[in-house]
Amino acid sequence: MKKSLLDVIFASEKRTNMLLLLQDGPTEMEVILSELEATRPALLPQVRILEDHHLVTGSNDIYELTVLGKQIIDKMRPLMGTLEVFDGDTDYWGTHNLDFIPPHLLKRIREIGKCKEVKLSLTESYQLNQDVVRSTFMSASFHVITSFFHPDYPAVFPEMNQKGVSLYIITTRHVLDTMKEYHYEIFDRLLKTGSFNLFLYPEKMDLQVVAYNDYYLLLRLLTSDGHIDVDHMQCSGPDALEWGKELFEHYLKDSVQIREL
């Protein structure tokens, strides 16, 4: 009796990885063995199962996906990418609010890849992410969506601006009022530079901070019950940065630019 296709695909890591490997086209067995770090005797029984279920075909020690295999892999890739994002960090993702992400980007959350959870001690809890800060000084621009006023903003934003980094900040009425009341001169001066771009988002933000520069995407999320959490996710790679850019643009389209305080 044949296995179900779900068992064939997911019950064996070797079978899963071979299918993913073959998505790039016909591949010699020696290359497959090297990529999967497997021996021929260990892999061949799994190959036979894939062949018996018409997912893979082979000739002259070269294997490729069948039409059926290609159809399944096309649907399987997004799922595997999403699993990679959440795998090992389900406690974080499962206890934080993701409602701020528009549906079209939530469906593509696999694009941010495997992120690193940054856990902060009590003494570190009010620090900005140092990897992001340092790399921003080497970036052309820094984009931030923020619903709270960090005490380091009045110091670090002018310093970034002086180093030639273009700043784009989307924030809430509460944060804007804090800038006006307590740090008017600093932010008024920044706005007059022409490279500090401030935008007011008129609706509620269900997030703490989303930021990206040329190197990192940072996601500092609220918990599921709306509480602040200092722990956050740090992601990298071109796809993660592009995803962050699209999220920023989603909030930007409903925001109003602030030209003077």
Identify the CATH class of 5-82: mainly alpha
Residue owning tokens 């992400």: 101
Cα(184)–Cα(174) distance, integer angstroms:
14
pTM: 0.84
Q: Mean pLDDT throughout 248-257?
A: 98
Domain range summary for the chain, segments of one domain joined by +: 5-82, 91-258
Q: Mean pLDDT throughout 83-96?
A: 93
Residues 115, 233 contacting (CB under 8 angstroms):
yes
Q: Is 91-258 assigned to CATH 3.30.870.10?
A: yes
How does pLDDT run across 21-60, given as a tens digit for each residue?
Answer: 999 999 999 999 999 999 999 999 999 999 999 999 999 9
pLDDT band at 3 (very low <50, low <70, confident <90, very high): confident
Residues 222, 228 contacting (CB under 8 angstroms):
yes
